[in-house]
Homo-oligomer: A and B are copies of this chain.
Amino acid sequence: MAQMTLEQQLLAGNISRMVKLVGRMHPADVAEALIKVPLEKQVALVTVLPDVMGALVLQEMALPDEAALLMQLKPEKAAAILTQMYTDEAADVLAIIPPEDALTLLALMGAKGTQVKKLLAYESDTSGGLMATEFITIQEEQTIEEVLRFLREHTPPESAYYLYVESKDRRLVGVVSLRTLVTKPLSAKVKDVMYREVISVPEDMDQEEVAHLFDKYSFLVLPVVDEKEHLLGVITLDDVLDVAEEEATEDIHKTASIIPMKEAYLDAGIWTLFSKRILWLLSLILINVVSSQVMARYEQVLSTAIALTFFIPMLIGTGGNTGSQSAALVVRALVTGDIQLADWGRVFWKELVVGAVLGFILGLASSVMGLWRGGPAIGLVVGLTMVAVVLFSNLLGMLLPFILTRLRIDPTVASSPLITSICDAAGLVIYFSIATLILRF
């Protein structure tokens, strides 16, 4: 007989079989099955799970799903589950449920509630907002044997790969890894095996900077201290992974001329979505005005050879597309550090050649269309314009990010819409100049 999946068991409502199944599954898989069934079925299962298990499963759910489920549980059960979570995870979900409900749950959580309440006071995008308060501190004069005995008596949190060493006046003075504990002699003193050059961060450091430190030093855990060097909490690598995803989202939004927003799409209100977009759209219209001016200036040419207008969308469109491509290549390489400012010359030559080849092929293709729609002269004008527009846009898309970086402006500002708008205006000037020259107006 084929095994029923957890999802099927949930729908069938067979509680005892479910609990048995959950015991053999990874919490992430349980969470995945849970969100596929109606909320009341989720409540039914979580209500009968041990609190520790419930905490592990809920931590794996997306925050809005987790909050919705918590709100449907009896407050006592919800608080009991929250008490089993790491303080940072509990704070994250409590931050998005209505304040009066959050206060009720915090009150039911006892001492852990007090800790979580403190964490909720930090800005969510700072080191204080990322840290958890679960950590183990030991003293310099203890021996490894004493530390090991202490650990056996006080079960350390899962994340305790490192133990933090405090001086007598409670300053953070060193760190000892579990690996050190199991490899150094039992009689060795903590102060003789600890690593003293501990890197720690203040509670108000921006999360981007925190993520950068994790990346640079390959940390698993980073301690947070106050101005007296007292340990306040620890940030673990998994908290920072989400930061990296947020940063990538910001970069992709900037690439499309959207001012980065903090909320996930569905959580963002109409006003937020509007205000993050309108300023760029209005600014870009100002660049478009230049295009209109160019067209107006060549009104005579246009009215004499109306066929010229047919190719405007194709020529300026292709220019914009080419510029978007080279800008995206260069911006991303600058952001990831694949290229440095000093490499601009190498990049220039590369894009000059690539642009020339692209221009040649695209020029050929478009001159055929010009020939077909407007005769040989128009075909020549269109083909030559395409070569020039592609070359120009390709180099502009490549140079602008370098110039912005040089001016200490985030190169991501060289977004597709900005490049496209500039290429439009420049493309029109190129087009009409070539047309005037060849058609001899």
Contacts and interface: CB of A to CB of B under 8 A. Distances in A.
Contacts of A353: 270
Given A252-B332, A281-B322, A282-B361, A179 B158 contact: yes
B179 A160 contact: yes
A192 interface: no
A324 B292 contact: no
Interface stretch (A8-16, A108-116, A301-309): A301-309
Contacts of A369: 289, 292
B309 A278 contact: no
Contact of A425 (B306, B313, B421): B313
A49 interface: no
Interface residues of A, number: 111
Interface stretch (A99-107, A165-173, A334-342): A334-342
> Looking at A151, A185, A264, A266, which has the most chain B CB atoms within 10 Å of its CB?
A266
B317 A291 contact: yes
Interface stretch (A69-77, A215-223, A227-235): A215-223
Majority secondary structure of chain A interface residues (helix, strand, loop or mixed):
helix
Contacts of A33: none
A293 to B, nearest CB: 8
Interface stretch (A37-45, A122-130, A237-245, A402-410): A237-245
Interface stretch (A201-209, A254-262, A433-441): A254-262
Given A289-B314, A321-B280, A270 B354 contact: yes
Nearest to A255: B255
A26 interface: yes
Interface in A284-326: 284-285, 288-289, 291-292, 295-296, 299, 302-303, 306-307, 309-314, 316-318, 320-322, 324-325
